[in-house]
Structure 1
Amino acid sequence: MAIDTVPPLIYAQLNYLLTHSPLPIKVEHMWSGSKNNGLLDRFTLLIPFCLDYIKWDVIYNALYPLMAPDIIFGPEDESFRPFPVSGEEGDLKSPKNSLSDWNCKDPTRLLSLILELRDLYMTYQRKRVGDVDDERVKFELSTIFPREGIEMYMTSGVEKTEEVRFAVPLLDMDINKMVTGCPWRHQQKIFLQVIFPVGRKYMSASAAPRLKLVSSPELKALFSIEDFRLPAWLDGMCMAEYLPILEEMLQTQIVDGVASIDVRRKFIAALAPLFGRPVEADPVRILVYSLLHGWIKQKADLSLLCLPGLLQKGNISGFLWSVYVFGTFFPSTPVPKAISSPDASKFSGNL
């Protein structure tokens, strides 16, 4: 985003949104609403919702920067009207409306507007799901009503299969605080995606929905979520019965995985006297570690240690490299040699 092509007031609000949003909102692309001035005053935001992204266009006018932006929602959300006009369900001048007292000089206003619209969109989608003519979906809604933080989405259209998607947050624990030294800016969560097809009368009411465990890319790099085996969805089960079983299994593995980080650090530290000083490390995940254990003239001997993911079961593998340095250049010719796994039996806990 070139600062000199974005009006200052618009840039301040967009920059604040991207740096302070509790959600990982992204800008897909920017463009100008005028062919003459070339100022970028319009952009598309990718807003996380129900384990996917919704696209909203934010339309400013560089010629009238004091005015509030227009928000254009997706074509599938034509019936979404977050701020009813006067005389309908509400009043445009309502103090709860972020546009009613717009202040272009306040950099926080765009973020407040987007978060408010997202909350209203969540209510809108929940109503759509509640209106679905499907007894199983209605029953599932009634059983999970007490759980907080569940997002849901109704897909429909000529070219789309009608289905209801649930994004259920799992585990009432602060994973960010559990992992010492984690660089994460956003709160890390694990979700269960549950997808029910609707409008198919011939399908068995007890058939299992499509299930998938989902986490953020940062957390996925630490905990190998895709390697976690989901428990079976038994005949006649509902989400209210399935979720406690899943959470108990997942919590046990997460706690063990976090505990193994400290064990891995101690294990790596014990290797230093044998393999030499470290030259590269992964201080948080402790999945990859390389050490320099020899330097003779222009030859450097390196070892690379690879550990399995924190939710994986596997052996430790390692490689030895010989790197030759010529003059001021550093081309390398790796010659990998498999070595046996170091003896970790004396370390308590699982690596």
Structure 2
Amino acid sequence: MGEQLSASTDNRNPASNTAPKRTLSAKGRLVLQTGASTTIAAPTSWGGRFWGRTLCSEDSTDKFSCVTDDCGSGKLKCSGNGAAPPATLAEFTLDRAGGLDFFDVSLVDGYNVPMLVVPQGGSGEKCTATGCVGDLNGACPSELKVMGADGREGVVACKSACEAFNSPQYCCSGAYGTPDTDQYVLYQRKRVGEVDDDRLTFEASTILSREGIEMHMSSGAEKSEEVKFAVPLLDMNINKMVACCPWRYSQKIFLQVVYPVGRKYMSAPSAARLKLVSSPELKAVFSIDDVKLPPWLDGMCLAEYLPNLEEYLGKQVLEAVSLIEVRRHFIEALSSPFGRPVEADAVFCRKATFLAASGVFTFLVHLLIPTQFPKQQPAIMLQSSQHFNSQMAPMKSRVMSDYPWSPRWETSLMAERICELLADEALNFKRQCSEGQVQ
């Protein structure tokens, strides 16, 4: 298995013995034979990708190479090089916005092996397994097939159309680099334009002038036809509003509007379903889950609804960005009693860790500061620097989020009240650590 950085995962190679023998290696530290597994520890806020190199060997000069996903180093260790496509990629971004972990399995660079990411111990409706466990090599179109060196292995990988044809229309580049020229987007617009529904025809005509709008026609055996619009909102560059912004891509907010396709015999059209969606990284500053959408009035069309929504949403975003400085001042106020933080989120000011002491007992104070601060109070957790559990991990307290608090307090008073709270909690936490009541 190849990788760009170390990772905190349990890596397994489940390839059956009937498949071509596959040796997977990771940065020179591990080789996974069929059925083998290993665990790699991840540093804080790690991001990177994993891939499986197959059909690897060394020649007479000890040069190491693989038929698929070779990284070109000539050695087992990739030394920071990426995988040569086609490559199935497992991608991770850990401990980012709000402490969340993001992961996916990507076939953008083609496919060579099945891959599945299964989270353990996580929570949330989207914290589920993801990946591609089918053998796509067997169904690969002839133009995209990659054959083994001597032909005996058969199809060993499947290229992406972009790699195979190197054409702008398949790589979404050049003249095909915008939604107006993307072939899939144009195809969906054509399908929507053919829908026999006067309301949908009118709605589409009023908003098509918006740059970046997407639409999708869907239907199925168990649901009726519907048209989904994704309308980009806010003509503002959120990235530039955040000092030292680490985001690689521009953050976007869309209004998702779903219309059931009407029938001529229906007396009144069904109401549209509305939902805000955004780039996941935006949650570090602003959560669309906290936005209450304005009501959709009877007889209203989308072109009438959007201006009020954008005005309201724009104010929300500006306020959310301004709260970064409020959180920063709060962390600075905590530095007065605790000293400089041991670790802190310097950009979004969502997290901070301080070293504290109660007599000879030393401990860390972890604060998770919500985007709605100071309306919502920080969550606090203590971590002993002297007590460890049976797995040799530092003992931690329960998360404290229900304690005396007022958003009207000055930040200096907030810091003072937290110190008062911890004076009592530290003694209880020390006793619990000594008695083994916490993990």
Shared fold, TM over 0.5: yes
- Residue type at the aligned position of 1:332: P
Cross-structure match for 2:8: none
- Residue type at the aligned position of 2:311: E
1:177 to 240, 247, 252: 240
Q: Count residues in correspondence.
A: 285
Cross-structure match for 1:112: 173
Cross-structure match for 1:333: 395
Cross-structure match for 2:186: 123
Q: Once the 2 structures are TM-superposed, how far is the Cα of residue 181 of structure 1 from its aligned partner?
A: 2.2
- Residue type at the aligned position of 2:380: G
**Residue 263 (structure 2) pairs with residue 147 (structure 1):** no
Bigger mean CA offset, 186-195 vs 313-322: 313-322
Q: 1:169 to 1:312 in 2, by over 3 A?
A: farther
In 2: Cα distance, 1:191 partner to 1:283 partner: 28
Q: Once the 2 structures are TM-superposed, how far is the Cα of residue 324 of structure 1 from its aligned partner?
A: 1.7
CA contact (8 A) 1:162 1:197 kept: yes
SS at match of 1:41: strand
**Residue 106 (structure 2) pairs with residue 26 (structure 1):** yes
Cross-structure match for 2:426: none
In 1: Cα distance, 2:367 partner to 2:178 partner: 48
- TM-score, normalization by structure 1: 0.68
In 1: Cα distance, 2:216 partner to 2:171 partner: 24
1:314 to 376, 390, 394: 376
SS at match of 2:353: strand
Q: 1:274 to 1:123 in 2, by over 3 A?
A: same
Q: Once the 2 structures are TM-superposed, how far is the Cα of residue 219 of structure 1 from its aligned partner?
A: 1.1
Q: Once the 2 structures are TM-superposed, how far is the Cα of residue 229 of structure 1 from its aligned partner?
A: 0.6
Q: Once the 2 structures are TM-superposed, how far is the Cα of residue 295 of structure 1 from its aligned partner?
A: 7.8
Q: 1:133 to 1:159 in 2, by over 3 A?
A: same
Q: Once the 2 structures are TM-superposed, how far is the Cα of residue 237 of structure 1 from its aligned partner?
A: 0.7
CA contact (8 A) 1:206 1:237 kept: no
1:213 to 276, 299, 306: 276
1:290 to 353, 357, 361: 353
SS at match of 2:394: coil
**Residue 116 (structure 2) pairs with residue 36 (structure 1):** no
Task: In structure 2, list runs of 5 or more residues that go unmatched.
Answer: 1-50, 54-65, 73-82, 92-103, 113-136, 138-144, 413-439
SS at match of 2:318: helix
SS at match of 1:140: helix
Q: 1:306 to 1:174 in 2, by over 3 A?
A: same
SS at match of 1:156: strand
Q: Once the 2 structures are TM-superposed, how far is the Cα of residue 120 of structure 1 from its aligned partner?
A: 1.8
- Residue type at the aligned position of 1:324: Q
CA contact (8 A) 1:290 1:302 kept: yes
- TM-score, normalization by structure 2: 0.55
Over residues 55-99 of structure 1, what are the superposed CA-to-partner deviations in whole Å (9 max), with x where a residue is unaligned? Answer: xx6497xxxxxx638xxxxxxxxxxxxxxxxxxxxxxxxxxx748
In 2: Cα distance, 1:153 partner to 1:213 partner: 16
CA contact (8 A) 2:278 2:288 kept: yes
In 2: Cα distance, 1:206 partner to 1:68 partner: 45
Task: In structure 1, list runs of 5 or more residues that go unmatched.
Answer: 44-56, 61-66, 70-96, 100-108
In 1: Cα distance, 2:244 partner to 2:294 partner: 32
Bigger mean CA offset, 244-253 vs 212-221: 212-221
In 2: Cα distance, 1:185 partner to 1:151 partner: 22
Quick one: higher RCO (CA 8 Å, sep 6+), 1 or 2? 1
Over residues 203-227 of structure 1, what are the superposed CA-to-partner deviations in whole Å (9 max), with x where a residue is unaligned? Answer: 5645430111000111134311112
CA contact (8 A) 2:323 2:373 kept: no
Q: 1:283 to 1:301 in 2, by over 3 A?
A: same
Over residues 27-76 of structure 1, what are the superposed CA-to-partner deviations in whole Å (9 max), with x where a residue is unaligned? Answer: 27713444734674315xxxxxxxxxxxxx6497xxxxxx638xxxxxxx
CA contact (8 A) 1:98 1:116 kept: no
